[in-house]
A and B are shown apart, each in its own frame.
Chain A
Amino acid sequence: MNAKQFLLQECENVRATLHDVLRHDYAAGSSKEFYNEFRERLGFLELLLKPADPSDVSALGTFASEVSLLSTIVHHMERSHSGEFPWPFTEYLQTLATPLCKEGLVDNEGEPIIRVYAEGGLDSYQINLENDLSVLNVGRRIFTIVFPRTLRHHVLLHAIFGHEIGHAAWTIPKHRADLQNKVLGPLRSSGPLTSTSQATAWLRDTNAPQPIVDLRNQYADSEYSAIKRNQLDSWFEEFMCDLFGLVTFGGSFLAAHQTLLLALDPSGHRWGPYHPPYICRKAMLWHACNHLKWRDLAASFSDQFLRGDVENFVNNYCGAAPPGPWEDVITAAQVATAVDALQTILAEAGTSCFPMPSESAFAPLVQMVNRQVPPCGSDLSGSADPVNRNVDFRHILLAGWLGAEKLAAVSDDAKQNLSFLQLNKLCEMGLLQQRAIDLHNASKDGEDS
Chain B
Amino acid sequence: MSALVKKAILQNMAEGQLVVSPILSKRQIGASSIDLRLGNVFLMVRARGLSDVDPLRFASPADEMSDHAVEQARRQKHERYEAPFGRKFLLHPGMLALVPTLEWIKLPPTLQGIVTARSSWAREGLSIATASLIHPGYKGVITLELANLGQIPLGLYPGLRIAQIAFYSLNEPAAEKDMGSIFDMAFEPGEGNVARGDECFLREKKTST
Interface residues, chain A, with chain B CB atoms under 8 Å away? 25, 82-83, 87-88, 91, 368, 371-374, 376-386, 388, 418, 422, 425-426, 428-429, 432-433, 435-437, 439-440, 447-449
A436-B82 in contact given A382-B10, A388-B24, A448-B26 (Cβ < 8 Å): no
- CB contacts (< 8 Å) of A439 on chain B: these are 85, 159
Nearest residue (CB) in B for A374 is: B104
Q: Assess whether B22 is in contact with A87, with CB atoms less than 8 Å apart.
A: no
- Once bound together, how far apart are the Cα atoms of A368 and B139, in whole Å? 13
Q: Assess whether A382 is in contact with B21, with CB atoms less than 8 Å apart.
A: no
Query: Which 10 A-B pairs have CB atoms at the shortest separation, nearest pair first?
Result: A382-B14, A378-B22, A382-B13, A378-B21, A382-B10, A425-B187, A440-B24, A385-B26, A82-B82, A83-B82
13 pairs, A vs B, C-beta closer than 8 Å:
A91-B84, A384-B6, A384-B26, A428-B187, A432-B102, A433-B22, A436-B24, A436-B102, A436-B159, A437-B22, A439-B85, A440-B25, A449-B25
The DSSP consensus for interface residues of chain A is loop
A378-B82 in contact given A87-B40, A429-B141 (Cβ < 8 Å): no
Interface residue from A91, A380, A385, A418 paired with B13 (Cβ < 8 Å) = A380
Nearest residue (CB) in A for B84 is: A87
- CB contacts (< 8 Å) of B10 on chain A: these are 382-384
Q: Assess whether B85 is in contact with A449, with CB atoms less than 8 Å apart.
A: no
Nearest residue (CB) in B for A415 is: B180
- CB contacts (< 8 Å) of A440 on chain B: these are 24-25
A311 CB → nearest B CB, Å = 26
Interface residue from A88, A382, A385 paired with B12 (Cβ < 8 Å) = A382
Within 8 A of A (CB), among B30-82: 37, 39-40, 80-82
A433-B13 in contact given A25-B81, A83-B82, A379-B23 (Cβ < 8 Å): no
B102 CB → nearest A CB, Å = 6
A446 CB → nearest B CB, Å = 11
A83-B81 in contact given A382-B11, A384-B6 (Cβ < 8 Å): yes
Interface residue from B13, B14, B26, B39 paired with A449 (Cβ < 8 Å) = B26
- The answer to whether the Cβ of B194 comes within 8 Å of any Cβ in the partner chain is no
- CB contacts (< 8 Å) of A83 on chain B: these are 80-82
Nearest residue (CB) in B for A84 is: B82
- Once bound together, how far apart are the Cα atoms of A447 and B21, in whole Å? 19
B17 CB → nearest A CB, Å = 10
A432-B6 in contact given A382-B13, A384-B29 (Cβ < 8 Å): no
- CB contacts (< 8 Å) of B98 on chain A: these are none
Nearest residue (CB) in A for B79 is: A83
Nearest residue (CB) in B for A433 is: B22
Nearest residue (CB) in A for B23 is: A386
Q: Assess whether B102 is in contact with A373, with CB atoms less than 8 Å apart.
A: no
Q: Assess whether A82 is in contact with B83, with CB atoms less than 8 Å apart.
A: yes
- Once bound together, how far apart are the Cα atoms of A425 and B186, in whole Å? 10
Cβ proximity bits B4-22 to A, threshold 8 Å, 1 near / 0 not: 0010001111111001011
- Once bound together, how far apart are the Cα atoms of A429 and B139, in whole Å? 13
- Once bound together, how far apart are the Cα atoms of A440 and B29, in whole Å? 16
- The answer to whether the Cβ of B185 comes within 8 Å of any Cβ in the partner chain is yes
Q: Assess whether B85 is in contact with A436, with CB atoms less than 8 Å apart.
A: yes
Q: Assess whether B106 is in contact with A373, with CB atoms less than 8 Å apart.
A: yes
Cβ proximity bits B80-104 to A, threshold 8 Å, 1 near / 0 not: 1111110100000000000000111
- Once bound together, how far apart are the Cα atoms of A436 and B19, in whole Å? 17
- The answer to whether the Cβ of B203 comes within 8 Å of any Cβ in the partner chain is no
Q: Assess whether A447 is in contact with B25, with CB atoms less than 8 Å apart.
A: yes
B158 CB → nearest A CB, Å = 8
A411 CB → nearest B CB, Å = 20
- Once bound together, how far apart are the Cα atoms of A418 and B25, in whole Å? 30
Nearest residue (CB) in A for B17 is: A382
**Residue of B22, B39, B82, B159 most packed against chain A (CB within 10 A):** B22
- The answer to whether the Cβ of B206 comes within 8 Å of any Cβ in the partner chain is no
Cβ proximity bits B122-144 to A, threshold 8 Å, 1 near / 0 not: 00000000000000000101000
A83 CB → nearest B CB, Å = 5
- Once bound together, how far apart are the Cα atoms of A425 and B13, in whole Å? 23
Q: Assess whether A381 is in contact with B13, with CB atoms less than 8 Å apart.
A: yes
